[in-house]
Amino acid sequence: MRKLMMLPLALLAAFVVAAAAGADTKTVQITKTGFTPTTTTVNVGDTVTWHNADTATHQVVADDGSFASPVLRSGETYSFQFAKAGKFGYRDSQAGSHKGTVVVNGPPAAVTLAAGSTTVVYGSSTSLSGAVSNQLTSEPVTLTAQALGKSTQSLDATTTAANGTFAFPVSPTIQTVYQAHWRTADSPAVTVNVAPRVGFGLSGRTYVAKVTSDLTYAGHYVWVQRRTATGGWTSIKRVYLGASSRATFQLRLARGLSTLRLNLPAGQAGAGYVAGLSRLLAVKH
């Protein structure tokens, strides 16, 4: 659970790192006649540096109070990094008629998506988590899904929480590709694989195997495996499943305690599924 909660924060950090990697700096000259250029356009994360190219002192002050330089003597500079998008007017407190503007463009719309688990057992669920690049709350995000052999369908919709993060619970029944959509942006596709549910039980001296998915498994087989003394697994019997994807069988085991499981190989799982394992069964003879 802790890993799943940390996932949106990791996705958010990816946006921050990407923005920092492409940061730029632009310079505005302060002259006796005003700011050159009067309008400067940058991106979020960029820095603007004001250089006093005059012999008189000057001071750069934002109209909204978001930044203010010290009084700059000739040749001195002041820099400010813009962390959010918007239009920021400023003036020279030493020469009130001198004004300028910084236009800060936000990052292009982007949305991430990652799965809490890339493989689930048939009938189980996982969570898909992501974040939007503007990091705002209440942003609408939709999720589409394409199960193997089917067309893409709109699956769910939600709104972002703190820092632009969101999450969708999903319960695929066959290999499914998911994608999040926000504004004009589409996330990378995320594939969640599905392993058939492999049931394993014992009634008296009769063992029961049952495999469940969207497919039927008549004629397919599972391996009965026993744990070795070194902790590995060895296959001791191949069991073929009947028309109901079920089989009953008996085993000859050495005296003592044996730990058993069923292994459905990938080649027997069927299209859209990966290999599956049953629970462990401890048997004493």
Tens-digit pLDDT profile for residues 169-220 = 999 999 999 999 999 999 999 999 999 999 999 999 999 999 999 999 999 9
CA distance 214 to 265: 17
Q: Which of 155, 154, 160, 158 is nearest to 170 (CA)?
A: 155
Q: Are 14 and 40 in contact (CB under 8 A)?
A: no
Q: Within a 10 A sphere around the Cβ of 3, how many other Cβ atoms?
A: 9
Q: Which neighbouring-strand residues pair with 211?
A: 198
CA distance 201 to 1: 29
Instruction: Give pLDDT, residue 1.
Output: 34
Q: Are 191 and 118 in contact (CB under 8 A)?
A: yes
CA distance 102 to 61: 12
Please report which residue ranges of 104-192 form alpha helices under DSSP H. none
Instruction: Give pLDDT, residue 240.
Output: 98
Q: Are 161 and 200 in contact (CB under 8 A)?
A: no
Instruction: Give pLDDT, residue 160.
Output: 97
The torsion angles phi and psi of 8, rounded to 5 degrees, stand at -60, -35
Q: Are 262 and 200 in contact (CB under 8 A)?
A: yes
Structure tokens at 197: 């549910």
- Whether omega before 37 lies within 30 degrees of 0, making that bond cis, reads yes
Model pTM? Answer: 0.71
Q: Are 226 and 260 in contact (CB under 8 A)?
A: yes
SS3 at position 6: helix
Give the residue ranges of the chain where pLDDT is below 70: 1-22
